[in-house]
Amino acid sequence: MKLSPYPVIRLRPKGQARTVRHGFPWVYDNELVTDRRTRKLTPGSIAILEDGERQPMALVAVNPESRIMARVLDRDCGAVIGADWLRARIERAQALRARLYDAPYYRLVHAEADGLPGVVIDRFGDTAVIQPNAAWAELLLEELAEALVDVTGVRNVLKNAGGRARALEGLDDASAVLRGDMPGAPVDVPMNGAIYKADLEGGQKTGLFYDQRPNHAFGARLAKGARVLDVFSHVGGFSLAALAEGATSALAVDGSAPALALAEAGACASGVEASFATRRGDAFDVLGELAQEGARFDLVICDPPAFAPSKKALEAGLRAYERVARMAAPLVAEGGFLGLCSCSHAVDLQKFRTASLRGIGRAGREGALIHTGFAGPDHPLHPHLAESGYLKALFFRL
């Protein structure tokens, strides 16, 4: 019998063996036998996970410093986690995106749902941005970058080390250029008939939010001949798509001057700058000011940051979503449309819908829910991880 090169960790006798066998990809620290040897494993080490009866279950990545102490990498305990394994996973992810999109602008790897736990990769033409949000990926980052170049042919590979997830894994916040060069200017990203500007060095997350693409498209279908208000606009996600589809005007509201500058550059690149305007300020303040001015729009869309990034923040987050709906609804013209979005994984669809309807009602408006949207197919949902289905978008006719 060939000995495995990997150490062994074991579930407690009453650990979640059935849950893991049925597909759940995480094992928490309180579910494992955590002796001194296990605690001394280097964060990111590969190990064999055994059940309480010492039967091998899966290869896992171990991080004794994380609440998620083990992440399932492969159900085949004989697999070798290395360059060839990484290449096969990226090839599989690439094959799906090639079926879905005509141009190489998308999320290439969506963590657990693409078989690479904690790893996010967004592609921007010949540049790819990796967020290695788990310790195992940090240890294999060179091999990951090499496999990415081999499979996709990208020239530039960047590491983005921002975000809360890396801190939870005990990882640094040092971004880097892994292959090629950092693009010297914002990258043009064609989506939904518009050109967006992605700042891959200083922008939020990897530089652009691909997840909203289908919701931008649906909003744009409502925008023909319409006056559009895009609140929490970032780089103009909803407003630029709306103008590309024939909106008569769009006002983008955001608290970030750099984001609005990118939105303006995108409007120019899209040839719609004459119909596009921006307003910098706190979104709630601007919503109040617009109401006092008597402003009305045919389509109002609010896409705020995560108001409930954790379960502890759930109630406060729901109140914030209700407040958004209550302040945005009066700005919608009779018969117009209101789009409300949430990227909080702690807020499920029912709770978000309830908070939104409560806000609309408290504004003295009523309406029908005409569409519920989610993230695009380049953000596949892991069926056992509610966190991977974080994005919700509700469209109402008021």
Q: What is the pLDDT of residues 98-156, one digit of tens each?
A: 999 999 999 999 999 999 999 999 999 999 999 999 999 999 999 999 999 999 999 99
What pLDDT does 164 receive? 81
DSSP 178-211: EES---SSPEEEEETTEEEEE-TTTSSTTSS--T
Residue 395 bridge partners (DSSP): 339, 371
Instruction: Tell me which residue has tokens 């939104």.
Output: 356
Q: Is residue 195 part of a domain?
A: yes
Q: 261: exposed, middle or buried (C-beta count within 10 Å: 0-12, 13-18, 19+)?
A: middle
Same domain, residue pair 350 and 301: yes
What pLDDT does 3 receive? 55
Residue 43 near residue 63 (C-beta atoms within 8 A):
yes
- Measured CA to CA, the distance from residue 384 to residue 267 in angstroms comes to 40
Under DSSP, the state recorded for 383 is T
Domain residue limits at 341: 187-397
Question: Taking the CB of residue 341, how many other CB atoms lie within 10 A of it?
Answer: 25
Q: What is the dihedral of CA 358, 360, 361, 363, to 10 degrees?
A: 120
- Measured CA to CA, the distance from residue 341 to residue 349 in angstroms comes to 10
Residue 2 has pLDDT above 60, yes or no: no
For residue 395, what pLDDT band results from cuts at 50, 70 and 90?
very high
CATH code at position 32: 2.30.130.10
Residue 11 has pLDDT above 50, yes or no: yes
Same domain, residue pair 233 and 302: yes
What pLDDT does 4 receive? 67
Same domain, residue pair 66 and 89: no
Q: Which amino acid type is present at position 320?
A: A
Could you tell me the pTM of the whole model?
0.94
Q: Is residue 321 part of a domain?
A: yes
Distance of CA 334 to the CA centre of its chain: 33
Under DSSP, the state recorded for 48 is E
- Measured CA to CA, the distance from residue 200 to residue 223 in angstroms comes to 29
Measured in degrees and rounded to the nearest 5, phi and psi for residue 313 equal -95, 10
Q: Is residue 2 part of a domain?
A: no
CATH code at position 110: 3.30.750.80
Describe the chain by its helix, strand, coil percentages, rounded to 5. 35, 25, 40
What pLDDT does 260 receive? 97
Residue 343 is among the residues annotated as catalytic for this protein: yes
Residue-wise pLDDT tens digits, 42-93: 999 999 999 988 999 999 999 999 999 999 999 999 999 999 999 999 999 9
Q: Is residue 149 part of a domain?
A: yes
Q: 284: exposed, middle or buried (C-beta count within 10 Å: 0-12, 13-18, 19+)?
A: middle
Q: Is residue 88 part of a domain?
A: yes
For residue 279, what pLDDT band results from cuts at 50, 70 and 90?
very high
**Number of domains observed in the structure of the chain:** 3
Residue-wise pLDDT tens digits, 345-371: 899 999 999 999 999 999 999 999 999
The residue count for the chain: 398
Dump strand ranges (E) for the chain.
8-10, 26-28, 45-50, 56-62, 68-74, 105-110, 119-124, 127-132, 156-159, 176-179, 187-191, 194-198, 227-231, 249-254, 276-280, 297-302, 332-342, 368-373, 392-397
Average pLDDT over residues 191-200: 97
Q: 333: exposed, middle or buried (C-beta count within 10 Å: 0-12, 13-18, 19+)?
A: middle
In 312-373, which residue ranges form alpha helices assigned H by DSSP? 314-328, 349-362
CA contacts within 13 A on the Cβ side of 242: 30
What pLDDT does 1 receive? 41
For residue 205, what pLDDT band results from cuts at 50, 70 and 90?
confident
CATH code at position 381: 3.40.50.150
- Measured CA to CA, the distance from residue 101 to residue 265 in angstroms comes to 24
Last-in-domain residue among 159, 179, 199: 179
Residue-wise pLDDT tens digits, 208-240: 999 999 999 999 999 999 999 999 999 999 999
Same domain, residue pair 375 and 324: yes
Among residues 77, 268, 341, 343, which one is catalytic? 343
Last-in-domain residue among 119, 152, 179: 179
Q: 150: exposed, middle or buried (C-beta count within 10 Å: 0-12, 13-18, 19+)?
A: middle
